[in-house]
Structure 1
Amino acid sequence: MTEPVPAPSAAAVATIHLSQLLKSPVISESGESIGRVEDLIVRLPGGDAYPPVSGVVVGVGGRHVFVSADHIAEFTADRITLTRNKVNLTGFERREGEVLLRADILGHRLIDVAAAELVRAYDVELDDTGAGWVLARLDTRRPARFFGLLKTSSGHASRDWKAFEPLIGHSQSMTVRVSGRVSGLKPAQLADLLEDADKREQGEILDRVHSDPELEADVFEELDPDKASRLLNDKSDADVAALLGRMRADDAADAVMDLRQSRRRRVLDLMPAGQRTKVITLMGFNPASAGGLMNVDIVSCGTDATAAQAVSIIAAATSLQPEALLKMHVLAESGRLVGVISLVALLQAAPGSLVADLMDSDPVRVGPEADLTDVALLMADYNLYTIPVVDQDDHVLGVVTVDDILEATIPEDWRRREPAPRPARESGPLTAENAGSGTGGPARS
């Protein structure tokens, strides 16, 4: 039985920078120059492995041809030597799951998943793991310039490839590239990425988000209204209606109002009936008033309900936004608001206690015409997270939540502040053992 070859130590791992290799000669087995390196190809593996180098795009006599990694005898920073004397001169065509390091990565922006921002790749590092070359790290530090010329640097500031998600725009590779790392970002982070992205980058981020309809709705709720409106303009009426049907009714109403007037009726007609009714109701209020800000979905119970029954109602309301579940609204038989009680108070009460004995029987409430300043002051004065909005007969129309008020009152320049830098995390050395695992490669400086 053949003994396994031991994995190289961290010190023995050979590294090549893509910038060094491009335009280097490709040499035949007999020592003759066949062409020059135009690009390197890696294949995106399943799971969390590092992408292996699968071949080279070689410039030969004015055309680009493919040379498989299986036919490479030696891979160095200044040349590639082949195991044969001839190459197939059929023109290169990209296959599904392939990434071209020069065309797709070098000089392009990727998603820095940890920081939830777009960064540019200025160089690519490849490691020889002993079992083949892999894409290991990216250098995202802008090269220094001296009098307009690139200044040579003695070191690199590289980070593990697995910290990034590429935005390549190659539709045939999309299914391979979609991973849980992007969908694991918070909706607000994805919205920030979309607002910073160019049109091509936006298209790929949206394609990835679109695979999770609920996440897509959450992202559009977080987008700047002008950006959301531009993105919706690129969608069909049916797609817009489906998206708005999954959004909070108040955010959907704002989005409908931002559509071209000629589209509004068409989109509304295509929306689910229940959501359409809510949206049309909200569109009748001033957007800067309590009526325009409120969420029409609430939880309520009667005065004869027990604490356990009220908690059960809240637990069953899985389709409502979590912030709408912070308070239980207690209604008389006529539907009139007679009290509110917090979820915390219900959880702390004896299960058999009557809600009528626990509730605040004179809750703070506002009419739909109240402006956001009045609502904000009431929330601050009474330490409230929600305020019910009622009509002249005390029937509950909806509820304004503190996040609605914050979103409406935070100045625009605060929203665009640069986030504090995150501490860098170093990973273990890259070897043949972890090249296909989640262990990161070494940071180099």
Structure 2
Amino acid sequence: MGRLSDVIVRLRGRNYPLVTGLVARLGGREVFLPGEQVASWEAEGITLTSRRVNLGGFERREGEVLLRADVLGHRVIDVPAAEFVRAYDLVLERTSEGLVVTGLNTHRPRRLARLFGGGDGEHDRRDWRDWKSFEPLIGHARSARVRSVFGRLGRLKPADIADLLEEASRTESHEILQTVHSDPELEADVFEELEPDSQIRLLRERSDAEIAKVIARMRADDATDAVNELPQARRQPVLDALPARQRVKVLTLMGFNPSSAGGLMALDVLTAAPGITAAEALREAGGSRALQPEVLTTVYLIGDGDRLTGAVTLVDLLQADPAARLEQLADADPVRVVPDTDIEDVALLMTDYNLLTVPVVDDEERILGVITVDDVLEVIIPSDWRRRGHAPRPPGRPERESPASP
């Protein structure tokens, strides 16, 4: 009757995509054939249960993915490897639910993909991998919105997603960002991991209010860097749109040289009174969920006039007598820096004393903030060293499940 043009599937979260229909070319027109009308699908051709066909032209609907138009020959995300690969062939299997897509091949075959009648495909069986290891980038906005909440990108670390964005085309990056946008915390973490050029390129495409929503969830030092990179005319509108607490933090950090200790410090610090016990300090640390995890390695003691009087690590607190007071456990003369200390000097101090954090104090020894080792590494490691590909990942359990698994 005609020639197969495409296969329509519906993405179903953790389940394999279900074939819902075919697109066939009949008499110069593309028509839709419902999946339940397919009686058999063999190498010789497709047999229908009825010769009656709706000759109305095919129109793509929301949520539909076309295997030929959207997947074959296009780049997909290899989730375990956190990299782009190209899809060259697909495997369809018949189940009690109908035909489902269960496998994908990313190696270029010697002949065209067999799915659309281009030969045998000639792939080594070892080249086939489970569909669930990949995240397709559909390119059809309405369908992408429907499937975004089911995406596998949430299994990747923010740094991995940032790497993908830096390699992605404009269309690919738009779809990746649309997917992570459904998780505002993940979205902010991803923007923190982007290189400055990529970060500002992607932020500039958004409205001031949208930029503010992302920056509001970023760490204050990263948020400050992002605001400083914006065009001058957009900085104040973005600042005005920030929540008051985050705006105060950003404005405070903008008052320091970005390459100094003051420009790098986090303003939220884990502090305690010298007279409380180790058990009380641990309870306070456990309840400090608003602080970034990196600053929770050390408790800083604050005495009269809000002056820094000591420091004690959480490890020391865990190993100490729960009834011991902090002033008995703390280093009474902790290493500290002032706001205009150069970043390289901060790095040397932290290396010499094996510190995970170092406090920043003013002229009267009042604590202003704390610098974490991850922020120091980010500054001192050359940018071309940070994206050197992925280290080999340990083999995990196979993801392959039965096609009808939930």
Give the TM-score of the pair, scaled to structure 2.
0.92
Shift in Å at residue 143 of structure 1?
Answer: 4.0
Q: 1:91 aligns with which of 26, 40, 57?
A: 57
SS of 1:324 mapped into structure 2: helix
Paired residue type of 1:246? R
**Cα separation, partners in 2 of 1:333 and 1:193, compared to 1, 3 Å:** same
Q: 1:63 aligns with which of 11, 29, 35?
A: 29
Aligned partner of 1:347 in structure 2 is 318
8 Å CA contact 1:299–1:325 kept in 2: the answer is yes
**Cα separation, partners in 2 of 1:342 and 1:54, compared to 1, 3 Å:** same
Paired residue type of 1:139? N
Q: 1:228 aligns with which of 191, 196, 199?
A: 199
Q: Distance in 2 between matches of 1:356 and 1:423?
A: 45
**Cα separation, partners in 2 of 1:91 and 1:141, compared to 1, 3 Å:** same
Q: How does 1:277-296 map to 2 (within 5 A)?
A: 277-296=248-267
Q: Distance in 1 between matches of 2:72 and 2:178?
A: 22
Aligned partner of 1:79 in structure 2 is 45
Q: Distance in 2 between matches of 1:194 and 1:140?
A: 20
Aligned partner of 1:356 in structure 2 is 327
Q: Distance in 1 between matches of 2:397 and 2:270?
A: 47
8 Å CA contact 1:55–1:67 kept in 2: the answer is yes
After superposition, the C-alpha distances for 1:126-170 in whole angstroms (9 at most, x for unaligned) are 12346532211111113469xxxx999732422110111111133
Shift in Å at residue 418 of structure 1?
Answer: 2.1
Q: Distance in 1 between matches of 2:398 and 2:329?
A: 54
Q: Distance in 2 between matches of 1:341 and 1:330?
A: 8
SS of 2:290 mapped into structure 1: coil
SS of 1:75 mapped into structure 2: strand
Q: How does 1:111-130 map to 2 (within 5 A)?
A: 111-129=77-95
1:191 matches 2:191: no
Paired residue type of 1:154? E
**Cα separation, partners in 2 of 1:359 and 1:428, compared to 1, 3 Å:** closer
Q: How does 1:360-399 map to 2 (within 5 A)?
A: 360-399=331-370
SS of 1:238 mapped into structure 2: helix
1:402 matches 2:373: yes
Q: Distance in 2 between matches of 1:359 and 1:385?
A: 16
Give % identity. 55
Paired positions, count: 397
SS of 1:51 mapped into structure 2: strand
**Taking CA–CA contacts closer than 8 Å with sequence separation of 6 or more, which of the two structures ends up with the larger relative contact order?**
1
Shift in Å at residue 102 of structure 1?
Answer: 0.3
Paired residue type of 2:6? D
Aligned partner of 2:115 in structure 1 is none
SS of 2:309 mapped into structure 1: strand
Looking at CA atoms only, which structure, 1 or 2, has the larger radius of gyration? 1
Q: What CA RMSD, in Å, does the superposition of the two structures yield over aligned residues? A: 2.2
Select between 207-216 and 131-140 the one with higher mean Cα deviation.
131-140
Q: Distance in 2 between matches of 1:400 and 1:373?
A: 13
Shift in Å at residue 428 of structure 1?
Answer: 8.9
Q: 2:8 aligns with which of 41, 50, 54?
A: 41
Q: 2:104 aligns with which of 129, 138, 150?
A: 138
Q: Distance in 2 between matches of 1:165 and 1:209?
A: 13
Give the TM-score of the pair, scaled to structure 1.
0.84
Shift in Å at residue 184 of structure 1?
Answer: 2.5
Paired residue type of 2:321? A
